[in-house]
Amino acid sequence: MELLYQSTRSQGEKVTASQAILKGLAGDGGLFVPERIPVPGIPLENFSKMSYKETAYEVMKLFFTDFTEEELKSCIDKAYDDKFDTCEIAPLTEKAGVYYLELFHGATIAFKDMALSILPHLLTVSAKKNNVNGEIVILTATSGDTGKAALAGFADVPGTRIIVFYPKNGVSRIQERQMVTQKGANTSVIGITGNFDDAQSGVKAMFNNKELAKTMKEHNYQFSSANSINIGRLVPQVVYYVYSYAKLLSNGAVKAGELVNFVVPTGNFGNILAAYYAKNMGVPVGKLICASNENKVLFDFFETGIYDKNREFVLTSSPSMDILVSSNLERLVYRIAGDNPEATAGMMSALASEGRYEVTGEMKARLEDFASGWASEEQTASEIKRVYEETGYVMDTHTAVASAVYHDYKEKTKDSTVTVIASTASPYKFGTSVMGAVNSKYKGMDDFELIDELSRISGTAIPKAVEEIRSAPVLHNTVCETEDMQKEVEKILGI
């Protein structure tokens, strides 16, 4: 049965999955959402016998109905190959009664690899299906991880170019080094003097610029997005929640139908929205626990029903969550508004003009699937130290935010439901913060000395992604003001 996609902001024409993937953003500035959440035609128990690739196919075929079996399986095979350092793709690790879903075993050691390994293949197939002959220009803003994962995914993919903007002083040193050393004739990386929200706003403005779109078309270019606003990135993230529940079934941690909580460190809201979609597909999810750092705009939203970005922007040790405009929340707002595009458009308009909006009491009541919490910088560091000392497990700063929020939640609620924490990045990506938290004696050490020491104390091998950048030359050194982002794009494309 065909599944079509529509904008969160209007009742405009519905599009196929491949058209939604190609466009990235709807013409009215809204995000594409499926007209319904599909449900698997097989019992969840069947998934417990499947590999990650098999699970991916069973989930994605329900959302991407205009892809043939051959096309979709080819995309999956190319994505989840030896770029990942484990055949499990997303291992589930248990430590002291808590399960960590390790989403960082891909090429860039962060969870963004889970979707950005497959998006280039979905996009190139979508282009062929829709007779697009020009070059697809991937335009992306990153708070640290998306940029490198997108660059790695799209590097030298025929028919594509990729331009990534990142906040020059708002990512970790390893994250920046991963991006600026990226090879590929079709890759461009630009630092901006603002923060992530500035970068994201600049990218959205270019997507919505009709004159720019016209000029692009004249030069045989078409924009698309690798951010989680693209449905081609969101749907692959649904897979690992189905997969992790199936793993819990297969190892006897839960019985069929038994509820599981998921804790997700959250910035742009795409990762936890994927868990919400999995719940709506029939995965027995108890609570979706939204974990924020000191930029706790989402925590305040779940507490009050008011989304207000008018606040100080805090640079933290978990930079991928340093976000005040959580783009994917729009998809949840649309859902709790009863799939009402007019109501959604009104709230997004208020966010753009006033920096805030408030949901109705009825809408807030529909957020009962979610719990929320936040962790300070001190709590985050303390959690890294506590978990390491108690279990020997070393986690990154984002996972530590989720872990701290979960332990606080459990203490307050006494909820003993089996819980999975989404571990969204390798500790090697944030060696300075992680090792400084483990022991103050590491503070001030060189980045790569810390990485060697991290390998020693954790008993884990240094990921290839980190080893590669030790001596890699810097290939991208452009920095611009936020208002000059479009000029840089025009210069790169020669338009």
- H/E stretch holding 62 reads helix 52-63
Q: Looking at this protein, which amino acid is placed at residue 3? A: L
Q: Which residue has the tokens 């208020």?
A: 350
Q: Indicate if 49 belongs to the active site.
A: no
The 10 Å CB-count burial string (b at 16+, else e) for 333-368 is: bbbbbeebbebbbebbeebeeeeebebeeebbeebe
- H/E stretch holding 137 reads strand 135-141
- Please state, in angstroms and rounded to a whole number, the distance separating the CA atoms of residues 318 and 328: 19
Q: Looking at this protein, which amino acid is placed at residue 210? A: K
Say whether 141 sits in a helix, a strand or coil.
Answer: strand
Supply φ then ψ for residue 169, to 5 degrees: -110, 25
Residues with Cβ within 8 Å of residue 264, at least 6 apart in sequence: 271, 272, 275, 288, 289, 290, 291, 402, 422, 424
The 10 Å CB-count burial string (b at 16+, else e) for 248-284 is: bbeeebbeeeeebbbbbbbbbbbbbbbbbbbbbbebb
249's tokens: 């079934």
Catalytic residue (choose from 83, 112, 148, 429): 112
Radius of gyration for the chain, computed over Cα atoms and rounded to the nearest angstrom? 21
Residues annotated catalytic, as ranges: 112
